[in-house]
């Protein structure tokens, strides 16, 4: 069942599960399978997921190209598209990248994203990270110009601290933030989420499944040939302890009639400041399962039992 929400003070009505497209870029996640990914995008629309999050940086443009092809022929009012800008290639695509939120770069790169996506406008354009060399009023001027020209509808930020977000809000209409948030990493509950709640800022959170750990699919003995091969959460004793904790979700999932993935995502959506959780998707089965986190609620008891597992 779908569940739509108005994204903060924007007029975007988005599904609470957002289709994450980092996996379409390859690079950190293994070779992308365009056939499976296209099927997953189409399936997403069928199961009530209308919100897609990508970035120019994912596969140096490849993820935007694959998503653009997958959405070809889908009516523009059937989906809401978010992408990001920040990583400036110093030479050819695939070369070294540096942060850049300068006026000229944003105006230029937005055109490149639109071309790769095959779209006339972007619904939500996000500063992927904080650029220490560009005052944010310059960044905001570029975003406002793109808005005025009809290239983007709204803009926001990602990976900003609460102080950077406060500064952003003082110089422009930064309507959303995209921070990291999952059951194992709840740092934003201390500052970013209360700030967003009191300022009606749209919050879409990433790595909601801690790179798949919170699906309950691992035994703790797996080895990886993607970004997880270097992530300490997926190594040795720590990996086993993580799996033991995640397995404690099984009885709660059983009594709710949902899967471990679904209760892990739902627990994030219950926070009143969180509008959407972005889930990184590789195939149709994964988006179908994630979509099943919409349209119902955890009881207060189940919610606090879940939090207790990950103190
Ligand atoms: N703004 C930023 O800086 C930033 C940073 C990171 C991510 N993001 C965004 O957020 C999205 C999600 O975050 P993420 O990719 O870091 O992590 P994530 O969503 O926590 O994990 C993604 C992984 O979870 C697994 N998965 C997803 N659904 C599953 C299901 N139903 N059953 C089993 N496994 C499932 C897949 O693993 P397998 O590979 O094992 O199939 C997938 O690669 C990204 O795609 C991207 O759009 C933004």
Specify the pLDDT at position 265.
Answer: 98
Q: How confident is the model at residue 160 (pLDDT cuts 50, 70, 90)?
A: very high
Please give the Cα distance from 227 to 93 (Å, whole number).
20
Task: Taking residues 176-193, report their average pLDDT.
Answer: 98
- 282, pLDDT greater than 90: yes
Using DSSP bridges, classify how beta strands 97-99 and 87-89 pair: parallel, antiparallel or unpaired: antiparallel
Is residue 37 scored above 90 in pLDDT?
yes
User: Would you say residue 150 has pLDDT above 90?
Assistant: yes
Which residues does the annotation mark as catalytic?
A: 58
Instruction: Determine the topology of domain 4-212+262-297 in CATH.
Output: TIM Barrel (3.20.20)
177-190 average pLDDT score = 98
C-alpha span between 300 and 281 (Å, rounded): 29
CA torsion through residues 219, 223, 228, 232, sign = positive
Mean pLDDT over residues 283-287, rounded?
A: 98
Q: What is the pLDDT of residue 264?
A: 98
- pLDDT number for residue 95: 84
The residue-averaged pLDDT of 149-167 equals 98
Q: Indicate if the pLDDT at residue 252 is higher than 90.
A: yes
Residue 93 pLDDT level (bands cut at 50, 70, 90): confident
Is residue 4 very low, low, confident or very high in pLDDT (cuts 50, 70, 90)? very high
| Confidence class for position 63, pLDDT limits 50, 70, 90 | very high
> Where do the domains of the chain lie?
4-212+262-297
Q: How confident is the model at residue 190 (pLDDT cuts 50, 70, 90)?
A: very high
Q: How far is the CA of 20 from the centre of ligand 1 (A)?
A: 6
Q: How far, in Å, from the CA of 278 to the mean position of ligand 1?
A: 7
Following DSSP, what letter does each residue of the chain receive, concatenated? ---EEE-TTSS-EEESEEEE-GGGG-TTSSS--HHHHHHHHHHHHHTT--EEE--TTGGGGHHHHHHHHHHTTS-GGG-EEEEEE-EEESSSTTS-EEE---HHHHHHHHHHHHHHHT-S-EEEEEE-S--TTS-HHHHHHHHHHHHHTTSEEEEEEES--HHHHHHHHHHS-EEEEE-B-BTTB-GGGTTHHHHHHHHT-EEEEB-TTGGGGGGT---S----SSGGGG-GGGSHHHHHHHHHHHHTTHHHHHHHTS-HHHHHHHHHHTSTT--EEEEE-SSHHHHHHHHTTSS----HHHHHHHHHH--
Q: For the residues 203-225, what does the mean pLDDT come to? A: 97
Given ligand 1 and candidates 156, 159, 207, 283, which is best to mutate, with the most ligand atoms within 8 Å of its CB?
207
Please report the atom of ligand 1 found closest to the CA of residue 261: 31
pLDDT at 268 over 90: yes
Residue minimizing CA distance to atom 48 of ligand 1: 206
Pocket of ligand 1 contains residue 290 by CB under 6 Å:
yes
- CA 213 – ligand 1 centroid, Å: 10
**CB of 181 sitting under 6 A from ligand 1:** no
For residue 299, what pLDDT is reported? 98
Instruction: Provide, rounded to the nearest whole percent, the portion of the chain with pLDDT above 90.
Output: 96
Q: Tell whether the model's pLDDT for residue 91 goes beyond 90.
A: no
**Low-confidence winner among 26-30, 60-64, 229-233 (lowest mean pLDDT):** 26-30
């Amino acid at each position: 069942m779908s569940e739509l929400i108005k994204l903060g003070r924007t007029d975007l009505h988005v599904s609470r599960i957002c289709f994450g497209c980092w996996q379409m870029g390859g690079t950190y996640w293994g070779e992308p399978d365009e056939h499976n990914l296209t099927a997953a995008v189409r399936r997403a629309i069928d199961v009530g997921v209308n919100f897609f999050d990508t970035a120019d940086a994912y596969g140096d443009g490849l993820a935007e190209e694959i998503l653009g092809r997958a959405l070809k022929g889908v009516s523009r009012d059937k989906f809401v598209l978010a992408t990001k800008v920040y990583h400036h290639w110093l030479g050819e695509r695939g070369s070294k990248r540096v942060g850049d939120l300068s006026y000229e770069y944003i105006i230029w790169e937005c055109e490149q994203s639109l071309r790769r996506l095959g779209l006339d406008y972007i619904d939500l354009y996000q500063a992927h990270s904080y650029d220490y060399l560009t005052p944010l009023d310059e960044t905001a001027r570029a975003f406002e110009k793109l808005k005025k020209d009809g290239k983007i509808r709204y803009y926001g930020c990602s990976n900003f601290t609460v102080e950077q977000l406060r500064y952003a809000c003082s110089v422009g209409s930064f309507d959303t933030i995209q921070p990291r948030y999952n059951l194992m990493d709840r740092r934003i509950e201390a500052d970013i989420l209360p700030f967003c709640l009191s300022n009606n800022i749209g919050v879409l959170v990433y790595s909601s499944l801690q790179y798949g750990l919170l699906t309950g699919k691992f035994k703790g003995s797996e080895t990886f040939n993607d970004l997880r091969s270097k992530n300490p959460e997926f190594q040795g004793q720590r990996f086993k302890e993580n799996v033991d904790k995640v397995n404690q979700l099984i009885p709660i999932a059983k009594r709710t009639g949902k899967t471990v993935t679904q209760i892990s995502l739902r627990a994030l959506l219950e926070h009143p400041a969180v509008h959407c959780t972005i889930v990184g998707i590789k195939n149709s089965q994964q988006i179908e399962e994630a979509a099943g986190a919409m349209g119902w609620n955890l009881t207060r008891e189940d919610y606090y039992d879940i939090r207790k597992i990950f103190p």
